[in-house]
């Protein structure tokens, strides 16, 4: 590839690390917030809901404004708000009369940054002249996993060396990463997402396209497959290893993230030799098997192994769907990527909620909830099979009508 765009690719990788920081650093401090500021756990739990709800809103709103301001401005704004939010997290709780309001303001800013990054980084990566776009997209998304692992490990190491009472310093140190990457994005080249001579299909026409809605369904299923188990990984680790809840919170999600990142890394390196759609079918079958292991195994240790298998199986579902959509609907533009990200986030929220509701109805039986969640990999499998058998005329008709409309 053009050596100039190599720097753009690296900056995109760091962009996903930034998203991992804003999503995973604050939860490590929830118990500290509770003890230091006397904030009830119910209000602290709302911070997670507020973060992801705001990111969903940004996904939706960005459909309209990202194309107007351009990708470079959107990337700079995303990194700026992420860095500002992390700095405010260190500063505001100590100077406001209501520490919780200070934390909430900080979450607002870095959630805006995280939502924008989710919408913008993938299409910028897609626009880069990489030799294999599917592999590059998978490798890009693996950096969210490695960022998650790095945040947990490095933060834990910092707390062990300097004490958790100095968490404000660490928050500012984490803010350096988005601040530096923001400066990088002011200089690196950013290619056009759309093919030369083409313009993006109007939003109304995109929403009428059946193929687009199939990809939205796949994104919802990809997010649900991932988070339905990931959100409960700490519980399985706690039961299987006989450790405290705090240690379970570290080991379970980290194990899941490492396995998910590994599968994305493998496809990122070997993607030229591996057909994407067949890999997604194989991954959904493996995901289905992992759900059965988790829910039906009588041994807690096998349940934890099932979590790891699930992490590995879901690795390419999200980036793979992005890549298939970009290839099938090349003039989808920013609106398509934003709405696909919105669908993925709906799945990330809906999957754990579904598991929780079923588990509660079954007398707080988590395994029953996981077993009923097999609907998500089944839908993902069926949707991919339908996609494979869709005749090329749908895409040709779409491209032809889009080109005529743009003339």
CATH number where 286 lies: 1.20.1250.20
Q: Do 273 and 403 fall into the same domain? A: yes
pLDDT of residue 314: 92
pLDDT of residue 196: 64
pLDDT above 60: residue 396: no
Q: What is the pLDDT of residues 280-312, one digit of tens each?
A: 999 999 999 999 998 888 887 888 888 889 999
User: Which pair of tokens denotes residue 344?
Assistant: 């993925």
Section 167-189 average pLDDT: 95
Q: pLDDT band at 24, cuts 50/70/90? A: confident
- SS3 label, residue 266: helix
**Structural domains in the chain (count):** 2
pLDDT above 80: residue 401: no
Cα separation, 158 vs 181, in Å, equals: 22
Q: What distances in angstroms separate CA 294 from CA 77, 166, 383, one per listed residue?
A: 41, 38, 24
* Phi, psi of 195, rounded to the nearest 5 degrees: -60, 150
Q: Do 259 and 379 fall into the same domain? A: yes
Q: Do 247 and 161 fall into the same domain? A: no
Q: Do 156 and 129 fall into the same domain? A: yes
Q: Choose the final residue of a domain: 175, 191, 207.
A: 191
User: Which pair of tokens denotes residue 207?
Assistant: 């929403």
User: Residues 331, 198: contact at Cβ < 8 Å?
Assistant: yes
Q: Do 29 and 171 fall into the same domain? A: yes
pLDDT of residue 356: 80
Q: Do 253 and 170 fall into the same domain? A: no
pLDDT of residue 406: 42
Q: Do 3 and 151 fall into the same domain? A: yes
Q: Do 214 and 186 fall into the same domain? A: no
User: Which pair of tokens denotes residue 213?
Assistant: 């809605």
Q: Do 309 and 370 fall into the same domain? A: yes
- E strand spans, 247-309: none
Cα separation, 370 vs 364, in Å, equals: 12
pLDDT of residue 240: 63
Mean pLDDT for the chain overall:
86
Cα separation, 402 vs 11, in Å, equals: 32
Cα separation, 381 vs 388, in Å, equals: 11
Q: What is the pLDDT of residues 50-90, one digit of tens each?
A: 888 898 888 888 888 888 888 899 999 999 999 999 999 99
User: Residues 76, 185: contact at Cβ < 8 Å?
Assistant: yes
> Can you state the angle between helices 3-24 and 99-127, rounded to 10 degrees?
150
Sorted by sequence, the CB contacts under 8 Å of residue 218 that are 6+ apart come out as 317, 321, 324, 380, 383, 384, 387
Q: What distances in angstroms separate CA 400 from CA 127, 196, 201, 403, one per listed residue?
A: 22, 15, 11, 5
User: Residues 22, 155: contact at Cβ < 8 Å?
Assistant: no
Q: Choose the final residue of a domain: 191, 222, 246.
A: 191
Cα separation, 378 vs 78, in Å, equals: 35
Q: Do 232 and 150 fall into the same domain? A: no
Q: Do 289 and 149 fall into the same domain? A: no
User: Which pair of tokens denotes residue 340?
Assistant: 């696909």
pTM, to two decimals: 0.85
- SS3 label, residue 101: helix
User: Residues 122, 13: contact at Cβ < 8 Å?
Assistant: no
Which of 19-33, 35-49, 65-79, 193-207 has the weakest average pLDDT?
Answer: 193-207
Q: Domain range for residue 42? A: 1-191
pLDDT above 60: residue 215: yes
Q: Choose the final residue of a domain: 137, 167, 191.
A: 191
Q: Do 269 and 387 fall into the same domain? A: yes
Enter the DSSP assignment of 273.
G
């Amino acid at each position: 590839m053009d050596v100039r765009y190599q720097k753009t690719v690296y900056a995109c990788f760091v962009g996903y690390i930034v998203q991992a920081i804003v999503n995973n650093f604050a939860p490590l401090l929830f118990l500290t917030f509770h003890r230091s500021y006397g904030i009830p756990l119910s209000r602290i739990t709302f911070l997670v809901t507020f973060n992801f709800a705001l990111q969903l809103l940004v996904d939706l709103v960005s459909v309209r404004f990202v194309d107007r301001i351009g990708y470079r401005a959107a990337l700079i704004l995303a990194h700026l708000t992420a860095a500002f939010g992390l700095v405010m997290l260190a500063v505001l709780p100590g100077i406001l009369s209501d520490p919780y309001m200070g934390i909430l303001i900080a979450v607002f800013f870095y959630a805006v940054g995280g939502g924008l990054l989710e919408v913008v980084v993938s299409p910028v990566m897609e626009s880069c002249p990489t030799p294999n776009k599917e592999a590059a997209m998978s490798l890009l998304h693996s950096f969210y996993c490695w960022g998650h692992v790095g945040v947990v490990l490095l933060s834990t190491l910092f707390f062990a060396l300097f004490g958790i009472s100095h968490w404000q310093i660490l928050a500012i140190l984490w803010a350096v990463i988005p601040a530096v990457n923001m400066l990088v994005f002011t200089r690196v080249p950013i290619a056009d997402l759309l093919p030369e001579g083409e313009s993006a299909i109007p939003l109304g026409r995109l929403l009428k396209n059946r193929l687009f809605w199939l990809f939205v369904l796949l994104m919802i299923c990809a997010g649900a497959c991932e988070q339905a188990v990931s959100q409960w990984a700490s519980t399985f680790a706690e039961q299987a290893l006989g450790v405290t809840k705090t240690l379970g919170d570290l080991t379970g999600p980290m194990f899941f993230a490492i396995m998910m990142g590994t599968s994305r890394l493998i496809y990122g390196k070997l993607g030229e030799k591996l057909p994407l759609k067949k890999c997604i079918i194989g991954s959904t079958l493996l995901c289905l098997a992992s759900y059965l292991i988790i829910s039906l195994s009588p041994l807690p240790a096998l349940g934890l192994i099932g979590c790891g298998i699930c992490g590995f199986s879901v690795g390419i579902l999200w980036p793979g769907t992005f890549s298939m959509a970009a290839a099938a609907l090349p003039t989808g533009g920013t609106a398509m990527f934003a709405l696909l990200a919105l669908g993925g986030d709906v799945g990330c929220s809906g999957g754990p909620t579904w598991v929780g509701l079923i588990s509660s109805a079954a007398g707080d039986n988590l395994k029953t909830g996981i077993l009923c969640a097999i609907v998500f990999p089944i839908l993902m499998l069926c949707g991919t099979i339908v996609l494979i058998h869709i005749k090329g005329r749908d895409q040709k008709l779409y491209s032809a009508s889009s080109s005529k409309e743009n003339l």
